Structure 1
């Protein structure tokens, strides 16, 4: 009687775990290679699990300019403080330039000459007005 002990390739017959990104056949089993944002399950070594970047260190595991880190599957995103917005190219917060906007909408109607700061903006005022830049939103007030 002859017993065949040939290896079954779990990667070819799709019997590997569905959370395995790239199946790698091994003698008598298989392991996985995982995409960025995932780690190999240290127990089974047969599935990829999400890395919670937000559980890590700011500046190491997620961008240092991310105000509040929000974990997503395979990555993360950021929630930004007032006067900031999410960068369109990477998960970090960038300053909003209120002065590029419309007077009375993006910056105070009483601001004569808007100057962007981080955060907010300050105002330079015409002669006869005082600058009130005590908050993140400046304005000009009559003397």
Structure 2
């Protein structure tokens, strides 16, 4: 996806068009995400680390004014920590087998962002509790594209 503009990750609510913009996930400590694989829109909630999180995915969706339907977005948490120095992408609610295609498209989007490597941990994807993104994508993609 050549030609995408690199966007600085801010601490407040962000709406990212992943077809036109790229971010570095290693700049994220702890925040909610919502992603619609059909539109390529990624909503990042307010950065929250060491403090209680106010609101909900639904409130952040409303505040973002991103459009579309809330239920079209896969949701979860993203960030880095001492336990996850290469990043973690945690689907919450977990992606179920009926959502496999949408979930896999979401993993491919994350794999194309800066900071995502084979050691980025994925949690809550189908029947896997915790797995590295490289292990999930390598069978069908031959690794990061």
Per the shorter chain, which TM-score range? under 0.3
Could you state the TM-score of these two structures normalised by the residue count of structure 2? 0.18
Could you state the TM-score of these two structures normalised by the residue count of structure 1? 0.18
Query: Greater Rg, structure 1 or structure 2?
Result: 1
More helix by share: 2
More contact order relative to length (CA 8 Å, sep ≥ 6): 2
